[in-house]
């Protein structure tokens, strides 16, 4: 990977451009709040909830769900974390990139993965005020009830993590794959 496609840029870093010039990265901003240190009991409870929710969920599917929810919630910190974890687990760059446009790239995913991704979107973006019956029914066709319950729990947990990340402006780019496992 080159510096141009993996900007872990310290404030004001300069890099060479294709034409021989140089470009300056935007400065890295500081997080608003270190909520995990200020609310350690809540953080520890979230970690336990996350561990409980992921039980029995296929790890590759779980990362796809976490990436998609994080895309929808614009959580750069979680996108950084879960794309790195997915890559480390053997997920392809192509499937990760196409996830943002999965409806037009359905052929990259299994029907089961599509049902989980669609459910993730429905739970994450409650524009109708509820999860549509059709979306739930498609997911229910691909998952046993206990597995579906775990999937819904995992989707709910990543949405909570996203809200902490976005609100506190956690800074992406410093996470190492598997760092929090």
Q: What is the mean pLDDT of the chain?
A: 90
> What is the per-residue pLDDT for 151?
98
- 83 pLDDT more than 60: yes
Rounded-to-integer distance, Cα 32 and Cα 30, Å? 6
> What is the per-residue pLDDT for 24?
83
Rounded-to-integer distance, Cα 165 and Cα 119, Å? 22
DSSP state of 7: -
In this structure, the chain runs to a length of 181
pLDDT class for 178, splitting at 50, 70, 90? confident
* Cβ-Cβ contacts under 8 Å for 156 (sequence gap 6 or more): 53, 123
- 123 pLDDT more than 70: yes
> What is the per-residue pLDDT for 161?
98
Q: What's the pTM?
A: 0.86
Residues 24-31: contacts with CB under 8 Å, at least 24 apart: 28/171, 28/173, 29/169, 29/171, 30/171, 31/168, 31/169, 31/170, 31/171
Mean pLDDT of 65-73: 98
- 9 pLDDT more than 70: no
Mean pLDDT of 121-148: 95
Mean pLDDT of 124-130: 88
Q: Which residue has the tokens 């872990």?
A: 8
Rounded-to-integer distance, Cα 52 and Cα 55, Å? 6
Mean pLDDT of 30-53: 96
DSSP state of 124: H
- 4 pLDDT more than 70: no
- 6 pLDDT more than 70: no
Residue 28, classified by CB atoms within 10 Å of its CB into exposed (0-12), middle (13-18) or buried (19+), is middle
Mean pLDDT of 146-162: 98
Q: Which helix (H) or strand (E) holds 16?
A: strand 14-16
């Amino acid at each position: 990977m080159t510096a141009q496609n993996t900007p872990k840029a310290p404030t004001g870093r300069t890099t060479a451009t294709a034409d021989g010039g140089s470009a300056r990265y935007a400065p890295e901003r500081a997080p608003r709040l270190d909520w995990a240190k200020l609310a350690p009991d809540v953080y520890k409870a979230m970690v336990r909830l996350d561990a409980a929710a992921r039980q029995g969920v296929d790890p590759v599917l779980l990362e796809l769900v976490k990436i998609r929810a994080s895309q929808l919630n614009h959580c750069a910190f979680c996108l950084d974390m879960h794309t790195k974890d997915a890559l480390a687990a053997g997920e392809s760059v192509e499937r990760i990139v196409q996830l943002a446009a999965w409806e037009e790239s359905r052929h990259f995913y299994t029907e089961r993965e599509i049902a989980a991704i669609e459910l993730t979107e429905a739970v994450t973006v409650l524009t109708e005020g509820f999860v549509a019956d059709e979306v739930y029914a498609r997911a229910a066709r691909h998952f046993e009830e206990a597995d579906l319950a775990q999937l819904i729990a995992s989707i709910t947990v990543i949405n909570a993590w996203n809200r902490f990340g976005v609100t506190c402006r956690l800074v992406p780019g410093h996470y190492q794959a598997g760092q929090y496992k």
